[in-house]
Amino acid sequence: MTAPATTDPGTDETPVTDDGGRGAARRFGTLAVAAAVVVGLLLGYAGGLLTPRLTRPGDASAEAGFARDMTSHHAQAVEMGLIAFQRGADPEVRTIGGDIASGQQGEIGTMQTWLRSWALDPTGSQPAMAWMPDGAGLVRNGLMPGMATPEEMAKLRAAQGHELDVLFLQMMVRHHLGGIHMIDGILDATDEPDVVRTAQTMKNTQQNDLTNLQAALKRLGG
């Protein structure tokens, strides 16, 4: 996955007015990633509409449960990624954050389109992770595998500089590990072609992200 973000790795967040403005460049980069998130969402919706289906997963199916739960899981990753992109001190951290935010927003679009094409609501009557055989035991305080607590998210939002970089990397490693476990669950449970294809792509992307996240964390002393 490539990020359309156009930030200059050598810039900081201090506006400079006598050379065209590095602050303006950072704002442009932020707008670029925000635009990429929107475009990714629209492409995800379009991708989910391409293949007509003769049969549809039901409301309590593993496919519907995965789409709903992974949408919520991804939404937190998008917020985390945007925080890292907008305020991270390290250029690589900003790039990783932008990649994750734009990529996972597109996948949200795909999953929400599945639900509409199956004539299902975005939310269902089943509890979180009910679609996965061991799912109930994986939910902790209402949170799916790898998800950050409200307190952890508040800490990330308040962090600055090196602390923000390391905290983001640590949280996203855990988030991706939980997400991959959920993806493995749907790959074991479904033979729906679109779901299998998209889930496998998600897994490959997140495994690649993990390599980059862990290398950056090691480099930054986290």
Confidence of residue 9 (pLDDT cuts 50, 70, 90): very low
Amino acid at 31: L
CB neighbour class for 132 (10 Å; exposed up to 12, middle 13-18, buried from 19): buried
pLDDT of residue 105: 98
CATH number for position 64: 1.20.1260.10
Q: Domain for residue 69, yes or no?
A: yes
What is the average per-residue pLDDT within 157-176? Answer: 98
Examine the pLDDT at 88 and tell me if it is beyond 90. yes
pLDDT at 21: 54
- Residue range 122-148: mean pLDDT, rounded: 95
Please check the confidence at residue 46 and state whether its pLDDT lies above 60. Answer: no
- pLDDT band at 169; cut points 50, 70, 90: very high
Residue 154 lies in a domain: yes
pLDDT digits (tens, 9 = 90+) for 63-80: 999 999 999 999 999 999
Residue 222 has a pLDDT of 82
Q: Which domain holds residue 112?
A: 22-219
pTM for this model (two decimals): 0.77
* pLDDT score for 67: 98
Domain count, the chain: 1
153 contact partners, CB below 8 Å, separation of at least 6: 76, 79, 80
DSSP string, 16-59: -SSSS-HHHHHHHHHHHHHHHHHHHHHHHHHHHTSS--SS---T
Residue 17 lies inside a defined structural domain of this protein: no
Predicted confidence (pLDDT) at residue 60 exceeds the cutoff of 50: yes
Whether the Cβ atoms of residue 97 and residue 168 lie closer than 8 Å to each other: yes
